[in-house]
């Protein structure tokens, strides 16, 4: 079995490969293979997998891509991620991609899908309108139509028909992927010193760059390693980090949080990988092709700022998460100008105050490079909890 440090080094390299080397290599092996780029938060990658495709995460350029052209498309008061995605697109990083999915996150990402349409990127651009109605015969049916639309577009490219058998196989693989990720988070909850939060981030992000089969193998190895009693605990508090579900935090920020005395045992970075909280059921005969994916979305989704919270308020779910993860506090870290995250803050922070949960909040951009002030702020937060709680 590969050593943990080698696995981690590999994941670090893969996760920020802005040339998408492995995905391109994978595609080149079979002319019927397709690559579909998808932005956060969630997209059911199973359907692309079943159509002989691979979904690659379009997660922005982070602090690895100098923005020159991208700034010419967005005003200063719009978040950073669309600029770096534009920069990547204009520099040809997505040239081998066959299609693009823009899930409904906010108005900026919605309009970014239109910019891709105008630029003529890929063979299709799909703004995936997630239903905000959760009744199976209404929102569920609409969701199935949205997914079918994606499948139709892929079919036009490779003429691969998705059958229940193929989709069940894909569902199984992604169920396994989610289960392994759950295990990693569960082990880290008890023993957060066994793997740093930055390592976890690289591991999860690598899953957006390589075939799921390869990622599952990596995850199995990681689980094996972190079940062992490795590394020594530090006197850190345990925190949840919330708000970075779309524009991703720079790795420096994740490291800063841990260096300042906090173990991140729960977060919403790359939330889509763990969006569905239970195994998706296999399709039974007589049901529609996309019925179980739709059921899972309607019933087993996690909570998010981009989803109408209907009858199950997000503050209740956040408090439940705090309890189950046994954390000492919350760090609200949202990207500047991120409407969904920032509009939720007053609601979530009030719930924290009403329930005596300690929190701090600050803003970041994917290319933030200075962490001194943030480190001092988090350090004070962590010390205050250690000393006085």
* Interaction site with other proteins (CB under 8 A): 72-75, 77-78, 82, 104, 106-108, 110-115, 117-118, 126-127, 129, 131-133, 135, 137-139, 141-142, 145, 305-306, 308-310, 334, 336-340, 342-347, 349-350, 363
Residues belonging to the chain: 389
Q: Which is nearer to other proteins, 14 or 341 (CB)?
A: 341
d(CA 345, CA 244): 12
d(CA 257, CA 249): 11
Q: Which is nearer to other proteins, 149 or 326 (CB)?
A: 149
Beta pairing class for 358-364 and 237-242: unpaired
Q: Which is nearer to other proteins, 73 or 295 (CB)?
A: 73
* DSSP conformation letters of 79-90: -SHHHHHHHHHH
Phi and psi (nearest 5°) for 232?
Answer: -110, 140
Minimum distance of other proteins from residue 340's CB (angstroms):
7
Across the chain, how many H-helices and E-strands are there?
14, 8
Minimum distance of other proteins from residue 293's CB (angstroms):
17
d(CA 352, CA 340): 18
* All residues at 6 or more sequence positions from 288 whose CB lies less than 8 Å from its CB, including other chains: 144
Angle CA(212)–CA(153)–CA(171) in degrees, nearest 5? 30
Minimum distance of other proteins from residue 210's CB (angstroms):
29
Q: Which residue has the tokens 């981009």?
A: 306
Q: Which is nearer to other proteins, 175 or 305 (CB)?
A: 305
* DSSP conformation letters of 43-65: --HHHHHHTTEEEEE----TTSS
Beta pairing class for 329-335 and 358-364: parallel
Q: Which is nearer to other proteins, 90 or 385 (CB)?
A: 90
Minimum distance of other proteins from residue 298's CB (angstroms):
13
Minimum distance of other proteins from residue 169's CB (angstroms):
28
Q: Which is nearer to other proteins, 12 or 247 (CB)?
A: 247
Minimum distance of other proteins from residue 89's CB (angstroms):
12
């Amino acid at each position: 079995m590969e050593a943990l440090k080698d696995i981690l080094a590999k994941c670090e390299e893969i996760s920020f490969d802005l040339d998408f080397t492995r995905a391109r290599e994978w595609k080149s092996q079979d002319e019927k293979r397709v690559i579909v780029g998808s932005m956060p938060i969630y997209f059911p990658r199973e359907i692309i997998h079943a159509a002989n495709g691979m979904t690659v995460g379009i997660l922005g350029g982070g602090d690895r891509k100098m923005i020159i052209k991208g700034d010419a498309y967005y005003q200063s008061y719009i978040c950073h991620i669309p600029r770096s995605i534009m920069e990547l697109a204009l520099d040809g990083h997505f040239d081998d991609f066959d299609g693009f999915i823009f899930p409904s996150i906010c108005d900026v990402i919605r309009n970014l899908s239109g910019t891709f349409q105008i630029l003529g990127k890929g063979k299709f651009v799909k703004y995936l309108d997630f239903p905000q109605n959760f009744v199976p015969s209404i929102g569920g049916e609409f969701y199935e139509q949205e997914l079918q639309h994606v499948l139709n577009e892929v079919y036009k490219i490779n003429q691969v028909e998705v059958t229940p058998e193929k989709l069940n196989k894909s569902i199984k693989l992604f169920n396994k992927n989610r289960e392994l990720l759950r295990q990693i988070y569960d082990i880290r909850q008890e023993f957060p010193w066994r793997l740093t939060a930055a390592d976890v981030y690289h591991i999860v992000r690598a899953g957006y760059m390589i075939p799921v089969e390869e990622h599952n193998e990596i995850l199995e190895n990681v689980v094996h390693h972190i079940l062992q009693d490795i590394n020594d605990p530090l006197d850190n508090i345990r925190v949840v980090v919330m708000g970075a579900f779309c524009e991703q935090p720079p790795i420096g920020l994740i490291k800063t949080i841990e260096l300042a005395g906090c173990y991140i045992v729960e977060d919403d970075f790359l939330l889509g990988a763990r969006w569905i909280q239970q195994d998706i059921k296999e399709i039974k005969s007589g049901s529609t092709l996309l019925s179980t994916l739709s059921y899972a979305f309607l019933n087993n989704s996690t909570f998010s700022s981009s989803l109408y919270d209907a009858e199950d308020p997000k503050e209740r779910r956040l408090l439940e998460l705090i309890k189950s993860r046994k954390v000492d506090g919350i760090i609200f870290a949202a990207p500047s100008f991120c409407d969904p995250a920032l509009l939720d803050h007053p609601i979530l922070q009030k719930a924290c105050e009403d329930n005596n949960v300690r929190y701090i909040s600050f803003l970041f951009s994917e290319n933030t490079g200075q962490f001194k002030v943030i480190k001092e702020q988090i350090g004070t937060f962590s010390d205050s909890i250690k000393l006085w709680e």
